[in-house]
Amino acid sequence: MHEASIGQSIVKTVLCEAEKQKAVKVESVEIEIGELTFLGQEQVEFWIKTGFESTIAESAKIIFKKIKAGIRCNKCGFQGNIRIKEDPQYHMMLPTFSCPKCGSSEVAIIRGKDAFIRRIQITQE
C-alpha cells in the first residue's frame, strides 16, 4: 500500500546519486525486496518508472531480487528460512513464526523485513 512512497524514495535516491556522480545516463537500478515488506513489485516498478520519466534514468533497466524471510531461534540457535506452507483449511499459503527445528516461538526475524537499493549503473560524460 505504500509502494508510491517507496517508489518515490528510490527515484530520489537514484537521481541524487547520479547527479553527484555527474552521470549522463542511469543504465540500471538493482532493488531487493524482503518477503515480509508487502511491497508489490509491479506497483513499485510502476512508481519508479513514473518518477524516472523525462530524466536521465528514463530508460534504466530495473532489476528486482527477492529476499527470503529468515529467522533465528533464541532457544536452539537455528537460523534459516521461515516455514510457509499451504493450509488445507483455507487453501492459503500461511507463514509460521516459530522455529522449524525445535518449535519454539522465541524467534527473531533476521531477514525479509527490509528493502534495499543495492546498486546502480551509470554512464558519465
Partner 1 sequence: MKKLFTEDGKSIEIKLNENLYGKNSELAEKNLEILNKQGIHAIDILGSIGSGKTSIIQQLVARLHTTFRTAVIAGDLTTTIDADRIKNRGAKVIQINTDGGCHLDANLVGRGLETLDLKSLDLILVENVGNLICPSSFPVGTHQRIVVVSTTEGPYMIVKHPYIFKDATVVVINKKDMAKAMELELDQFRKDALKIKPGIKVVYTNARTGEGIPELIEKLNISKE
> Which residues are near partner 1 by CB under 8 A?
1-2, 6, 9-10, 13, 17, 21, 27, 36-38, 87, 90, 92, 94-98, 103-106, 109, 113-124
Nearer to partner 1, 97 or 101 (CB): 97
Quote the least distance from Cβ 42 to partner 1, whole Å.
16
For residue 25, the cross-strand partners are: 123
Count, residues in the chain: 125
Residue 15 to residue 76: CA distance in whole angstroms: 45
Quote the least distance from Cβ 53 to partner 1, whole Å.
21
Could you tell me which residues come within 8 angstroms of residue 95 by beta carbon, excluding any fewer than 6 positions away? Answer: 69, 82, 83, 84
